[in-house]
Amino acid sequence: MTVATMTPPVRTLVEFAPLIPELAVVFGAFGLLMLDLFLPERRRIVTHALAIVTLLAAAALIAFGVGGQGTVMEGLFERDTVSDVLKFTILVVSAMAVAYSWSYLRERNLYRGEIVVLMLFAVVGMMLLVSAGNLTMVYLGLELLALCSYALVAIDRDSPLASEAGMKYFVLGSLASGLLLYGMSLVYGATGTLYLEGIREAAATIAGEDRVLLLTGLVFVVVGVAFKFGAAPFHMWLPDTYHGAPTPVTIFIGAAPKLAAFGMAFRLFEGGLGPLQEYWQPLLGALAALSLVIGNVVALAQTNLKRMLAYSTISHVGFLFLGVAAGGQDGFAAAMFYTISYAIMSAAAFGAIVMLSRKGFEADRIEDFRGLNSRSPWMALLVMITMASLAGVPPFLGFWAKLAVLRAAVGADMLWLAIVAIVCAVIGAYYYLRVIKVMYFDEPEGAVVQPREGVMLRTMFSFNALALLALGLFWSPVMTWCLQAFAV
């Protein structure tokens, strides 16, 4: 009797073509890691510049459709329009974060080649996360992002604040990962598959005890996603992490991972658990309301700008959840538009802190911006644009982002939630306008702090802030791009 043997399928490089952007970033990261071993300290800017080139090159590959869309690795990885939009934005925002970091880290003797390598590997994790077609790939991408982020937050080992922030981020992030993994295991136990498409098919027909198991897993998945977003009441890690991390790292972890988290939420809730929308919609709605109220009310009491922006992030997550909870093409497109808008706004807000910081002086208090208009009218104008956009003042980008998610919430018969969001937006406008008031109407106290003179940094911040005005005036193509991504 002969035993039949199974011949493993032969793989060709053509089959992995949709992975070309990810492979470009991976090879770039390994190349920079090796190159950094042979570069003297004074030439470390080479690795920094090449990291930016790597990210922008990968973004160009996506923009020009190199590799094409498709599903590879037996359904583990799925490249579609949704993932391409998110990846392109992740790569561009990450390149901006890297550009902000050079001067800040160099003058504090914090710059090491490992920093940009960690950022590149974190970007790979985000790219895998938004293209996940399987729960295994979701967790792989999430943990690759998380492990790199923990190290980046605690990169300043001589700072007690950074060490404390890194430890809190690690402990609470591990808890969130554990909750999410437990939820995924319950979903697998109920459906018998790890593939999101298979989970969706099973969720539509499952009944009895398996349905109870599936719904229990759904609750844990929602909690894990809320932790990763920093939504209230699972926000306890976010303010300390944003405050304690070096500001360029805060730019990175405060902007790009929100795009990845949205991609994860879409894959899990729509791609896998879509038939259970009647259960996860009210949960996300409640999280949105809590985030809006807690984030805005607590931000009112903050005098530290980084902590104020951290609590405002919680409120912005509430707006983002409005769109996700609404579901459907309009809801997810509005949520994606909001996430893209917030990533750009967040980078500009923390970039303003970098622009005024010096060695021994972080410029992270609101009062540090006193009288900025009298010292640098151009810088004050850019900060004003950023704060006005975050507050949702027309015609800036933030206004259209808020309007999009509010329309989606009303269209999904969640009028009560839209009303809560409008009231909280009015409350939130106060602390953003307070920064503008300090810049234009208060006199500076103590030593006068001038913005940085570096051409690259000033150009980067100007581009970042002015993009909020330009995209606010021409927001329709971006919204159309998001709607097309979710077209059936």
Query: In this structure, is residue 177 part of a structural domain?
Result: yes
Identify the bridge partners of residue 427 per DSSP, sorted by sequence position. none
More confident residue, 150 or 42: 150
**DSSP class per residue in 201-264:** HHHHH--THHHHHHHHHHHHHHHHHHHHHT-TTS-TTHHHHHHHS-HHHHHHHHHHHHHHHHHH
Residue 59 lies in a domain: yes
Residue 1: pLDDT band with limits 50, 70, 90: very low
Give domain status of residue 357, yes or no: yes
Res 203 pLDDT > 50? yes
Burial category of 166 from C-beta neighbours within 10 Å (exposed 0-12, middle 13-18, buried 19 and up): buried
Do the Cβ atoms of 93 and 259 come closer than 8 Å? yes
State yes or no: pLDDT of 142 exceeds 70.
yes
Mean pLDDT, rounded, for 246-262: 93
Q: Which of 142-146, 339-343, 367-371 is least confident?
A: 367-371
Q: Is residue 5 part of a domain?
A: no
- Are residues 75 and 197 in contact, defined by beta-carbon separation less than 8 angstroms? yes
Give how far the C-alpha of residue 104 lies from the chain's centroid of Cα atoms, to the nearest Å.
Answer: 22
| Residue 309 near residue 232 (C-beta atoms within 8 A) | no
Quick check: 322 pLDDT over 80?
yes
The CA–CA distances, whole Å, from 149 to 118, 254, 346, 430 equal: 8, 11, 17, 31
What is the number of structural domains in the chain? 1
Q: Which domain holds residue 177?
A: 16-485
- Whether 2 maps to a domain, the answer reads no
Residue in 385, 377, 367, 370 with CA at minimum distance from that of residue 308: 367
Query: How many residues does this entry show for the chain?
Result: 488
Q: Is the pLDDT of residue 269 over 70?
A: yes
Mean residue pLDDT of the chain comes to: 90
Confidence of residue 374 (pLDDT cuts 50, 70, 90): confident
The reply to whether 11 falls in a domain is: no
Answer yes or no: is 8 within a domain.
no
pLDDT mean over 470-481: 92
Expressed in angstroms, the distance from the first to the final Cα of the chain is 52
What is the spatial distance between Cα 353 and Cα 392, in angstroms, rounded to a whole number? 21
pTM over 0.85: yes
**For the segment 395-412, what is each residue's pLDDT rounded down to a tens digit?**
999 999 999 999 999 999
What is the C-alpha separation between 35 and 47, in angstroms, rounded?
7
Residue 206: pLDDT over 90: no
Residue 35 lies in a domain: yes
Query: Alpha helix (H) ranges present in 301-393?
Result: 305-326, 328-356, 372-375, 377-391
pLDDT bracket for residue 102 (50, 70, 90): confident
Average pLDDT over residues 411-436: 93
What are the structure tokens assigned to 230, written together? 């920093």
4-18, 232-246, 288-302: segment of lowest average pLDDT: 4-18
Report the alpha-carbon angle 339-340-343, nearest 5: 85
Position 68: which residue type?
G
Q: What is the pLDDT of residues 11-27, one digit of tens each?
A: 666 678 899 999 999 99
Q: Which of 263, 289, 319 is nearest to 132 (CA)?
A: 263
pLDDT at res. 447: 60
The total of other beta-carbon atoms located within 10 Å of residue 15's CB is 13
Q: Is the pLDDT of residue 93 over 90?
A: yes
Q: Does residue 10 have a pLDDT over 90?
A: no
Q: What is the pLDDT of residues 150-183, one digit of tens each?
A: 999 998 888 888 899 999 999 999 999 999 999 9
Q: What is the mean pLDDT of residues 435-461?
A: 80
Q: Across 73-153, where does the E strand assignment appear?
A: 77-79
